[in-house]
């Protein structure tokens, strides 16, 4: 994989989705990130920013749960396909898609669009997934039926065909081209699936023992040689709730402020990230939009902001 040599236009794509989770509020995440100055921060780094607005999503009150093990699957798949088309179009135009959500079911669309773009050019996509959770459930293993706990499994081709075959093909990415970082709450069936597919997972225990710097260097060294496009999928709950409280499913013991920035700064230094998404910003659970402001800072770090 070759590093980028010039700054592409960043295309901001809002995905105000809260159908994938039980807790409401993440549909306001895109607005919170815009209010936090995400555009201005990127423009200060020399990027041109094109705001594509928000993809329309029907709210829960306008529909019914018809499949309890795949809640709101119809609307989620429909909007994921729209998002996928927009992401693919952004890449075909030479832009950098920055998708802001919304719950993590957003990744069904972003990764589908990236995979379709790569397939059309005989390229290979890879994913770094930053999350407190594995998101490796399926309709058969999920205790809740919430689809925001399934997108990584679906992207790897595991689970219901309604999710795995968005845009008509599966898998979107291969396990050897993916890594999950900062996990600390994994359901027993997810552990089994992780072992079966051979996904690389680095838990917070691994990070404590080995140090985050070594782990992110190892992840990049393992993934980059085999791919042409690196996508980073950032669930804000990978960070400790003492740093960011405005997330739907907080889990104690996450990344510190500096560790989160270190991950994104290290990825930025390789110049290899070609798309990014930020999920699970929930301003209802936040204080003075602090979590969205932190997320905007993280995005800036991933795209080149440095202390010195």
The residue from 18, 103, 235, 286 that is catalytic is: 235
Q: Is 228 a catalytic residue?
A: no
The backbone torsions φ and ψ at residue 222, rounded to the nearest 5 degrees and listed phi first, read -75, -40
Q: Measured between alpha carbons, how far is 40 from 245 in angstroms, rounded to an integer?
A: 23
Candidate list 139, 148, 231, 259, residue with the active-site label = 148
* Residue 135 falls in the annotated catalytic set: yes
Pick the catalytic residue: 18, 27, 103, 135?
135
SS3 62: helix
Catalytic pick from 103, 237, 265, 297?
237
Place of tokens 């669309």: 109
Of 27, 54, 133, 293, which one is the catalytic site residue? Answer: 133
Annotated catalytic residue, options 11, 103, 104, 240: 104
Residue 261 annotated to the active site = no
d(CA 39, CA 51): 8
- The rounded distance, in Å, linking the Cα atoms of 25 and 41 is 24
Residue 231 bears catalytic tag: no
11's enclosing H/E stretch is: strand 10-15
Calculate the alpha carbon distances from 139 to 110, 164, 190, 230 in Å.
20, 11, 12, 28
* Residue of 75, 265, 280, 297 with catalytic role: 280
Annotated active-site residue 177? The verdict is no
Our answer to whether residue 51 is catalytic in this structure is no
Which residues are identified as catalytic?
104, 131, 133, 135, 148, 235, 237, 280
């Amino acid at each position: 994989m070759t590093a980028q040599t010039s700054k592409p236009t960043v295309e901001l794509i809002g995905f105000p989705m809260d159908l994938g989770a039980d807790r409401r509020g993440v549909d306001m995440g895109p607005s919170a990130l815009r209010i936090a100055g995400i555009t201005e921060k990127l423009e200060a780094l020399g990027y041109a920013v094109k705001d594509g607005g928000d993809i329309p999503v029907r709210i829960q009150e306008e529909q019914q749960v018809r499949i309890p093990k795949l809640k709101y699957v119809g609307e989620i798949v429909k909007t994921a396909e729209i998002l996928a088309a927009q992401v693919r179009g952004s890449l075909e135009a030479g832009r950098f898609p920055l998708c802001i959500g919304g719950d993590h079911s957003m990744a069904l669309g972003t990764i589908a669009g990236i995979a379709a773009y790569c397939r059309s050019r005989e390229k290979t996509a890879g994913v770094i997934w930053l999350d407190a959770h594995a998101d490796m459930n399926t309709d058969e293993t999920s205790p809740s039926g919430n689809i925001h706990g399934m997108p990584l499994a679906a992207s790897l081709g595991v689970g219901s065909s309604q999710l795995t075959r968005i845009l008509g093909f599966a898998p979107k990415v291969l396990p050897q081209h993916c890594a999950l970082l900062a996990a600390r709450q994994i359901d027993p069936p997810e552990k089994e699936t992780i072992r079966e597919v051979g996904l690389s997972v680095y838990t917070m225990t691994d990070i404590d023992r080995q140090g985050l710097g070594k782990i992110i260097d190892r992840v990049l060294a393992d993934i980059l040689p085999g791919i042409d496009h690196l996508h980073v999928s950032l669930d804000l709950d990978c960070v400790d709730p003492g740093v960011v409280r405005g997330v739907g499913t907080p889990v104690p013991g996450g990344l510190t402020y500096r560790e989160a920035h270190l991950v994104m700064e290290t990825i930025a230094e390789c110049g290899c990230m070609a798309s990014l998404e930020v999920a699970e910003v929930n301003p209802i659970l936040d204080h003075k939009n602090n979590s969205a402001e932190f997320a905007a800072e993280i995005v800036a770090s991933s795209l080149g902001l440095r202390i010195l």
